[in-house]
Amino acid sequence: MAEEKNMLDDIQRELFTKEELAAIVSRMGREISWDYRGKNLLMVSVLKGSVVFMADLMRAVTEPLSIDFMVVSSYGKGVKTSGVVKIVLDLNIPLEEYDLLIVEDILDSGKTLSYLMEVLRARGPKSVKICTLFDKPERREAQVTPDYVGARIPDAFIVGYGLDYAGKYRNLPFVGVLKPEVYA
């Protein structure tokens, strides 16, 4: 029988517990609810990384809203962005009536979001803002400033709560730092 593999063996340390994540999301939900009073909020989740965050965040917002999803790919299997962003699944509604809030798991080089902002702004929505659960400001290469940030983190590769390495670890309920030997 093959030796059983435990996801937890690949985690160096826990960075945010389930409870800490819940507190962050609830704080962000309150801010967004306040800022979007009387607006026509469309939360756009950038899949797949933001799926867990999106599901929690939308329930922490008390104003009426719509949701939609986009799939963009830039990473492949590595831990660094390739810089080439591709829209794999696009929104298929006119955006003129909406106040867009892009929901991302993590802002790293910024290449993904700067490209996405350009594409979405060109479609003439009332407004576009960025909400990211995590931000690694040290690693920024493109000019992007998030409007809502859950937590700033140092330069380490993290997984869990939707964030993956090579498609795995998204189902961890907490966020942890991946052991470097896993992707070395």
Instruction: Give me the residues that bind Mg ion (CB under 5 A), please.
Output: 49
Query: Residue 73 binds what, of Mg ion, ligand IMP, none (CB under 5 to 8 Å, by partner type)?
Result: none
Smallest gap from Cβ 50 to ligand IMP, in A, equals 7
Candidates 54, 144, 161, 57; CA nearest to 108 is: 144
Pairing of strands 65-73, 86-89: antiparallel
Beta bridge mates, 177: 13, 158
Cβ proximity to ligand IMP: between 15 and 61 the closer is 15
Interface with ligand IMP by CB under 6 A: which residues? Answer: 49, 74-75, 81, 104-112, 157-159, 163-164
Beta bridge mates, 151: 134
Query: Residue 99 binds what, of ligand IMP, Mg ion, none (CB under 5 to 8 Å, by partner type)?
Result: none
Q: Please, are residues 48 and 170 in contact by the beta-carbon 8 Å criterion?
A: yes
Q: Which of 10, 99, 108, 135 is catalytic?
A: 108
Q: Please, are residues 160 and 170 in contact by the beta-carbon 8 Å criterion?
A: yes
Cβ proximity to ligand IMP: between 86 and 126 the closer is 86
- Give CA–CA dist 28/149, Å, rounded: 8
DSSP character at residue 163: B
Cβ proximity to ligand IMP: between 58 and 163 the closer is 163
108 is catalytic: yes
Query: Residue 43 binds what, of ligand IMP, Mg ion, none (CB under 5 to 8 Å, by partner type)?
Result: none
Catalytic residues: 108
